Structure 1
């Protein structure tokens, strides 16, 4: 009997170790979900759009879209979430340019046909390359907008290089907090390589911060977005009934107004 128990324990331990090992080894496949499709030319998305190249500090050349507006009131650096590519953010670019803002839609390394593999440190370099590009266009004001995981990326950037304003859509407090919500059976805090500590970053930002979130978000709990707003000492805008990927949180009026009038 004892021998069978020991064998059972050994098998259970082996399964647990295998599951934890797989979760550790393949975690970035779960965090980063780039689309395999190549985005079309920028000019096909919006007249006057330009295909541009961003050069990162570690030598990567990343494709991006720039939508300049003559006599723009500001330029918006758009940091996307963890899925798809810049084509999904085209409706937002249309809405913002129609309101007199220039827009840069970037794709991180490994997204939108770009070289490299996404990591937290790599994405930090990517948004710095995007900021450098926009500074070269001499915008009157520079705004950062981050979507979900991109909120953590631009919050970290804003802590070091403050913008005129920072707008975060559906931000989480940190990636481990979201992971524990969706994988309660895993020791997420011990396994994660990339942390994306949004709340910690926004507490150091010296710029106006607005957080937009959906009250019915099933990916990022609304209470986490509200916690980010509190950490920033900023404004929270709730979109009633909106889930994480609903169109109203992609280019809806509350979101567009938060960016155009932060």
Structure 2
């Protein structure tokens, strides 16, 4: 065997080996679940909660929490990120209950008390089942879908298949394949990745108002991702920039809460453009235009 052939085979072997490792270890690398005992008791100060379980057709159990407000104006279905469990994420429900909205939150398969084998298809199906149960009690025009990071893709998929009042995406990704590509650009991720999560494809079919919130200093999912997503359905989309915000600290910015308040409490109104400059074009001959 020639020296160069040996080198080629060695490199090829290493490449295949890394690909196999990525395929089988990606669940561990992508998800950081926190397991909770079945008898764990959730508690949040000044929050009225009700715990529930949803049984799926393949025998899994999806554990969830219902955060209640006294006179609810609607329901926020909050889809969390890829780490921990509702034990920690539940503290963000107050950002909606204080405005008079109930909040429904769930742990994905393998998180918290939820069970079952986690696949993209299974999680999408689970969330649709929960959404259907919400619709049994609340008209969709009062349902807000809120997706945070990992949950932004699932929230977009739900919005594309249903008719909620609005979709709010917090630090969304274009697709998880694109995110992963930043770290392993030389790997065939289109073949390897089990959770491609093509948010950009699902967003094309969303018919409700879309609000995207993103920090300009997000190092994990760059701000330009949201700029790109906002161009998919521009007439329905509003991009809210949190100047200086990172990936995990938007809730520490006063402007984030101002934006969230305006989004969920205001009623959409049509702008009267009559008499405006909307159709006026700058002349290219004018140097100072």
- Mapping of residues 75-154 of structure 1, within 5 Å: 75-138=75-138, 141-154=142-155
Could you say what secondary structure the match of 1:136 adopts? helix
Instruction: State the partner residue of 1:183.
Output: 184
| Superimposed CA distance per residue, residues 189-246 of structure 1 (whole angstroms, 9 cap, x where no aligned partner) | 2322222111111111110000000101111111111211221320000111111111
| Superimposed CA distance per residue, residues 145-186 of structure 1 (whole angstroms, 9 cap, x where no aligned partner) | 001121110111111112011100111111111111122232
CA distance in structure 1 between the partners assigned to 2:109 and 2:28 by the alignment: 14
CA distance in structure 2 between the partners assigned to 1:191 and 1:134 by the alignment: 35
Could you say what secondary structure the match of 2:78 adopts? strand
- Kindly indicate which of the two structures has a greater share of residues assigned to helix: 1
- Mapping of residues 22-33 of structure 1, within 5 Å: 22-33=21-32
By relative contact order (CA 8 Å, sep 6+), the higher-ranking structure is 1
Q: Do 2:64 and 2:105's aligned partners in 1 also have CA atoms closer than 8 Å?
A: yes
Could you say what secondary structure the match of 1:195 adopts? coil
Instruction: State the partner residue of 1:245.
Output: 248
Could you say what secondary structure the match of 1:49 adopts? strand
Could you say what secondary structure the match of 1:248 adopts? helix
Which shifted more, 122-131 or 237-246?
Answer: 122-131
Which shifted more, 83-92 or 134-143?
Answer: 134-143
- Mapping of residues 4-23 of structure 1, within 5 Å: 4-23=3-22
> What is the TM-score of this pair, normalised by structure 2?
0.82
Q: Do 2:213 and 2:241's aligned partners in 1 also have CA atoms closer than 8 Å?
A: yes
Instruction: State the partner residue of 1:218.
Output: 219
For the pair shown, the structure with the greater C-alpha radius of gyration is 2
Which shifted more, 83-92 or 203-212?
Answer: 83-92
Q: Give the paired residue count.
A: 261
For residues 75 and 250 of structure 1, do their structure 2 counterparts lie closer, same or farther at Cα, with a shift above 3 Å needed?
farther
For residues 10 and 249 of structure 1, do their structure 2 counterparts lie closer, same or farther at Cα, with a shift above 3 Å needed?
farther
Flag structure 1 segments of 5+ consecutive residues without an equivalent: none
| Superimposed CA distance per residue, residues 86-135 of structure 1 (whole angstroms, 9 cap, x where no aligned partner) | 12322321121111000011111111121113221111112112212322
For residues 254 and 180 of structure 1, do their structure 2 counterparts lie closer, same or farther at Cα, with a shift above 3 Å needed?
farther
Flag structure 2 segments of 5+ consecutive residues without an equivalent: 267-289
